[in-house]
Amino acid sequence: MLKHTYDAATSVQDQNAPPAKIAKSISVCEYCDKEFTTRGIPLHQKKCTKKQAHDKAAAKKTRSYKFSVINEDVHEEILSFLSNQTLTKMQMIIGDRYEQCEPELARYCCKCENDNPAIFSGMCRQCESDCHRYRFELADKRMALEKYGITKKDLYSIPQICGKRYDPIRLENYMIEKCGSKMEWVRYLAKRDVRRKKARATRKRNKEEGDVFPNSRYRVRRIGV
């Protein structure tokens, strides 16, 4: 009877006892060697100073590319097939300098890296035609002069379509034929842009000098007389 009573009391105590806690899995941070729960390790690594230092050091490391080319002439031949924009990117990534590369011309070209002049909203004619919003439009006189670089004198020799408008393909082919190649056309546009910037800077400087010394030009003319 006593044994039965003891067993019953023990059973009641077991039922009232709190459930045993399940051991949490532990993970170790690979950067600072501190222990955290599996759930807490991602939160810790977001603030871990050693991990942040490791990530910064990894970001500063630049990739080093080495081309094992035995014959230097073969290397130059391979580079000759690459566009100027591709060579410009290679210079930025690798750090080498290529004699045939002209990085200052990249800003005048489309991002397709085919050395095509940027005509339509920063794109070449081909990329513009592939755009989903593309609608074929003829070029007017202002566009022919500003975007294609055609002179007013040369414009008279190009046939017009639908009034005073021009076929973009014909304008493009005309400039390539006139300059000798597509890259020469890009160089022509770049040189024209440089000349215009210099002219604007000169006019601005003359205007500023005129505002400071309003009678200087008059005095020079009087002395010259």
Which residues lie closer than 8 Å to 93 by C-beta, 6 or more apart?
62, 63, 65
User: Is 223 inside any structural domain?
Assistant: no
Range of the domain at 157: 140-213
- Report how many domains make up the chain: 2
pLDDT in tens, 168-184: 999 999 999 999 999 99
Residue 65 one-letter amino acid: Y
pLDDT in tens, 20-75: 555 567 778 888 888 888 777 888 888 888 888 888 887 766 444 455 555 666 66
Distance, CA of 54 to CA of 52 (rounded, Å): 5
Cβ atoms 97, 103 nearer than 8 A = no
Give this prediction's pTM.
0.56
Average pLDDT value over all residues in the chain:
78
Alpha helices in the chain (DSSP H): 2-16, 41-47, 49-60, 72-80, 84-94, 125-130, 141-146, 152-155, 168-179, 182-212, 216-224
What mean pLDDT is predicted for residues 185-190?
Answer: 94
- Does 154 lie in the same domain as 90? no
Please report how many Cα atoms fall inside a 13 Å half-sphere around the Cα of residue 146, on the Cβ side.
8
Q: Which of 82, 101, 136 represents a domain boundary (last residue)? A: 136
User: Is 20 inside any structural domain?
Assistant: no
Q: Which of 136, 163, 190 represents a domain boundary (last residue)? A: 136
Specify the range with the lowest mean pLDDT, choosing from 42-51, 99-108, 131-140, 179-188. Answer: 131-140
